[in-house]
Structure 1
């Protein structure tokens, strides 16, 4: 059972981009449906589990969920712009680099000299891996790609805050799943208000995207359970295999085309990204 729990987050997070990309709609429709789907699942989990959480922890978790929307909306926009198979390795690599640096600078990780050495090596592997997966042969798409990369870098801040807030809280795991999803929905609704897009609430693709929320919830819940059974390091490293599933899935199921040269660079880049995740987490 522990092995199943370890693999399920990778599978679910891996197919999430494919699920979203299959829905005919704009990124705002997709993020709305994902947030609503996550909220529905979190309510069921709360009613079954009945976890206790303080008001302060609830607010902090909701804030984390709001920042998750920023990161995920950036990803969804990138799917449409440069495709899933290019977005996921870049986004995952950026998150791993940012999370590692936050761990060192704020939470005092990599305390020993060996940890610092391997940490730097891991980050270098991630940077090279990202660079290789971002490489395109056609220069005509350079401007579009550059703009998308800048957007991914900026919105990744949302993921970093989302990952960092729970580490500073006393409550964790399933206890913060509901407040995080509440924060997600509030953030989406605020975005709709400020961008004046109330029609999103009535569009079919918005509600079709609820399935993406169910998939995300499966990943989040099984990851929490995997951490409990297998430990943080093992659970985290295996979960990063999702980038391989989503990248290969983008090319196979979504038929995103790459030249032979781009394909080779992508494969090497994926190996380096997964290797970087292992090095920065385990050593």
Structure 2
């Protein structure tokens, strides 16, 4: 049962970029829709299970707020380098950053063997990211320029994803009780971004509300991950959910028809394998 539950976020998180691309709209529309849809699921869980309070509420809220920063960076990157490059790179950055935070701040990977295996896992992930970013010379300088711009957005905003993964570790509570403040934080982050970038104009645009599908997908997938982790264990659930990067990348190729040369495609698929293997290794340390 836990394995089946883990397939929900694996597929759900993987199709988020595809929904965003098909629905359309600007990154402002997409992040607002994500926040709005997520809050709906958050309110549903709050009504059923309640929430943490006090400082734990604000830590969880902050985690969701900062996650919205990472997600905005991802949406912007989609417009610059496409889904098939963005997803492997952002996944790799998340795995590396979250792992290092766990080791340095929370004392994870205790023991020499664990640290060595963890280091190997990080090297595999970094190599995988490098493979997926390879651009053929005949693709032209514009493609390479776009990749540079995409990385300039993805690298700093990924800090938001790192915080989302790290902050809840400071709270002694179940994922269900952290869920509502996290979703509220995502919504407030989305609202503030839209107020700054569009002065609220995006609130009345239909694309903003249609992109609520992304938020509903994210909320349901995140909820399924909580139950999957309870049923199958965190490590097993995490491993299965890492397939989301494969779903997103292959979806970008097959559904969004993002073009790659034969050589680029071989490196991208090889990079995906390395990222997934490296991610799996970190889950069992």
- Give the TM-score normalised by structure 1: 0.97
CA distance in 2, matches of 1:233, 1:89: 20
CA distance in 1, matches of 2:196, 2:85: 30
After superposition, where does 1:250-269 map in structure 2 within 5 Å? 250-269=252-271
Consecutive unaligned residues in structure 2, runs of 5 or more = none
Note if 1:173 corresponds to 2:175: yes
Partner of 2:41: 41
1:5-58 CA-to-partner distances (Å, cap 9, x unmatched) read 1211101111111111111200110000010001011111221x2334122111
CA distance in 1, matches of 2:196, 2:4: 42
CA distance in 1, matches of 2:28, 2:236: 34
More displaced stretch, 252-261 vs 135-144? 135-144
Partner of 2:192: 190
Partner of 1:92: 91
CA distance in 1, matches of 2:51, 2:29: 32
Partner of 2:156: 154
Partner of 1:132: 131
CA distance in 2, matches of 1:143, 1:112: 42
1:115-165 CA-to-partner distances (Å, cap 9, x unmatched) read 011000000000100000011112422122112112111010000001111
After superposition, where does 1:1-283 map in structure 2 within 5 Å? 1-47=1-47, 49-137=48-136, 138-140=139-141, 141-283=143-285
- Give the TM-score normalised by structure 2: 0.96
CA distance in 1, matches of 2:199, 2:280: 42
More displaced stretch, 53-62 vs 68-77? 53-62
CA contact (8 A) 1:85 1:246 kept: yes
Deviation at 1:71, TM superposition (A): 0.2
Consecutive unaligned residues in structure 1, runs of 5 or more = none
Q: Which secondary structure does the structure 1 equivalent of 2:135 belong to? A: coil
Deviation at 1:195, TM superposition (A): 3.0
RMSD between aligned residues: 1.1
Q: Which secondary structure does the structure 1 equivalent of 2:25 belong to? A: coil
CA distance in 2, matches of 1:279, 1:45: 32
CA contact (8 A) 1:166 1:172 kept: no
CA contact (8 A) 2:51 2:181 kept: no
Aligned residue pairs, count: 282
Q: Measured at CA, do residues 52 and 189 of structure 1 come closer, stay the same or move farther in structure 2, by a change above 3 Å?
A: closer
CA distance in 2, matches of 1:271, 1:195: 37
CA contact (8 A) 2:51 2:178 kept: no
CA contact (8 A) 1:10 1:242 kept: yes
CA distance in 1, matches of 2:77, 2:190: 18
